[in-house]
Amino acid sequence: VTAKTPSPLFNHSYISSSILATIAANKFDLAVPFNRQERMWQAANLELDSKQMANAVIKGAKRFLKPLSDYLVNQLRQEKVVHMDETPFQVLDSGKSKSYFWALRTPKEFAKHQIAYFHYAPTRSGKVISDVLTPDYMGAVMCDGYRGYGQEQLPKATFGSCLIHIRRPFIELVKGLTL
């Protein structure tokens, strides 16, 4: 009696679920770049190049993590309060000086579900806000004073100010006082 051969994760690929898990753990948990992993896999007699590993991680994320991501975003859109902020970073191949990660978080005091969600966008446009939360979002959005957060993007939402952003001008004011 023999067991069936497991079907491959991806057509025409010898990357198994355990190999993909190891590649991802090395990359994201241990911060081992793909080019260094390439040498590790070659030492184990598995000819995997960095491009194959990157493609496998991207395909694996789309296939196995996208449904979870979609579920979390749908849950997030049902929460009464969401904290939201964006932060710039540089993407080398984008041709732009900055791209953005949009961070969304439900506060434990008001949430049914503790959710942290990070959304990549090549722009800081307010349209990203309505793309993530949808124009039908009726909760409260706690954010900084960026003008992209507004009734135009989320007409049914209520907007609140993040206390750390309110605090900053007071700190600057105190620094300028002479005693």
Query: pLDDT at position 161, please?
Result: 84
> How many Å apart are CA 103 and CA 3, to the nearest integer?
45
Query: pLDDT at position 156, please?
Result: 93
Query: pLDDT at position 147, please?
Result: 79
Measured between alpha carbons, how far is residue 91 from residues 38, 51, 109 in Å? 23, 17, 35
Residue ranges in the chain whose pLDDT is less than 70: 94, 179
Query: pLDDT at position 80, please?
Result: 93
Give CB contacts under 8 A, 24+ apart, made by 131-139.
132/73, 132/102, 132/104, 133/76, 133/77, 133/82, 133/84, 133/104, 133/157, 134/77, 136/77, 137/77, 137/82, 139/79, 139/80, 139/81, 139/82
Identity (one letter) of the amino acid at 117?
Y
> How many Å apart are CA 124 and CA 147, to the nearest integer?
11
